[in-house]
Structure 1
Amino acid sequence: MLEEIMSRKLTPFFMPADDKKGTVIGFCGSDILMREDGTLPSMEFFALLGEPKHRFHIGSFDEELYILFAWEKSTPLPQSLVKTNLRHFLGLYPPHLFAMLARAKQLAHWIYDNQFCGRCGAPVGYTSKFSSLGCSCGNYIFPRLSPACITLITKGDEILLARSPYFKEGVYSLVAGFVEAGESVEAALHREVFEEVGIRVKNLRYFGSQSWPFPHSLMLGFFAEYESGEIHIQEEEIEDAQWFNINALPPLSHETSIARMIIEEWRKNH
């Protein structure tokens, strides 16, 4: 799986980018830089921006090194480069490359949001002790991860799908929500399902996880069975929720998302 590829190939510390050749992934602030045709820029394009504020290795795949270059958000861009939303490239790149783009995005977003220490206000810098930013006051700042549960709820040959008002027109997905402080993932699942669609579930079964860089989620996927209740949506979060038969599913979230993977796994076994 994509997550296993990443875990074997990540660079754990801030290793300065040296003279080794590799694929450079560039960011301005937390926005990825692409050519106008949607391809990754080469070094000749990045050279037009001057020296980046941050440059370090983030990992490798099949001996190919990946390097993050990050410039200030206000850096002026030449016409040959554009700031781009990584969501536009879901499914357009091989899984290993998208995994590195996702890792680069999360790290770029993290260093952009953590330029100063939250404890004393002083500027922070790299530390070789951990994969973190550090301050002279002894505070360490690790990359932010926001765990969230996402659940396929079944009732016979039907599954519960919901849509957010922020989804593309007509697209449905699974019920999901963030884990609160002091809460287990299982407790969060039960709470989120009841809050968002008003039903109770049982027989939770773990599916898998996915790093989702929008901006720093760690998605934990589950199967669950309907237990009781009628659908009652949380209007602040959900626009619509319905039971759908396996043979009459609506447009679904992108095939690279864990939501779609869980649905396809269920389909395969029914």
Structure 2
Amino acid sequence: MKKLLLILLSILLHQVLYSQTIQWEKAYNVYKDDMANSICPIPQSTDYMVLGASFKYGGLSGNIGYYGSCLIKLNALGDTLWVRDLNIATNLSSKGNSMYAVSDGYWLCITAVYFDTDIHLVKVNFEGLVQAHYTVSGWPNALQAYYVRAVPNGDVLTVGQTAVSSYSGMAWDCFVTRMRADGSVAWTKYYNYGLYTEGYYVEGMANGHYWVSGSVNNSVWGMELDTSGNVVRQHIFYSTPTYAKIYDAYVQQLPNQKYLVIGGSVWTDPVRRYVGLYDSNYNLVWQQPEQVGNCFPAYIT
């Protein structure tokens, strides 16, 4: 078994003013390797909730490290108030990839560091205590879930990538799961736009449909789904000038009906990133061409 990659040596958080002045910057060392994948403010509070993983909660076997998912509560100054082990068991390590605030807590999307046939959708309250834990099986496929969102009717949506494709000659698919509030799965569907297709983003739309986006090979795509998971429309927003694999890419639909395209880390050394704004007809308004910088793009909330 291969040693896990060192994804982050420490967790870094920046609290930034509109003037881009950094108010504070702190590093957090829970235990050895830590990773932070999502942060949300706590409603009616100045505190923050961080979702990630640490070796402290996954155990250690020889030279092989195991991550365990955890929550960290920070105050307004970035000081740690507590760290909670979520105690979610997966095949190999578990990591918290995404969280979304609702009226009485958060929905968490937890998955294996390596692919597993199951994904975990977990509801916690504002003190990080588990209120509900649902397991969604992709059997016989193996899934990696990247993003979670709840919609007004109480359904929970998650999106990610499969380990193998259900389409002939393809390698990966994007999958979307719609889970009802009681934990029953309404549907899981698979979508493919090319050899290496990944889904990184999902959200509810004003018309009740779902907006999903991700990357395929060297391009960034978006699509609208109806409530049954059928594709209403789809579009390729951006492609790299050369064939360089894009990861961690998504398209956010803004309230003014424009689209913000966040180009993922391109498979180059050093990694590159791209940001572009497109109007409601998919026309480019402005873009920041691929910039060199050894960092992965983050979700904008």
TM-score, normalised by the number of residues in structure 2: 0.24
Greater share of residues in helix: 1
TM-score, normalised by the number of residues in structure 1: 0.26
For CA contacts below 8 A with separation 6 or more, give which structure has more relative contact order: 1
Greater share of residues in strand: 2
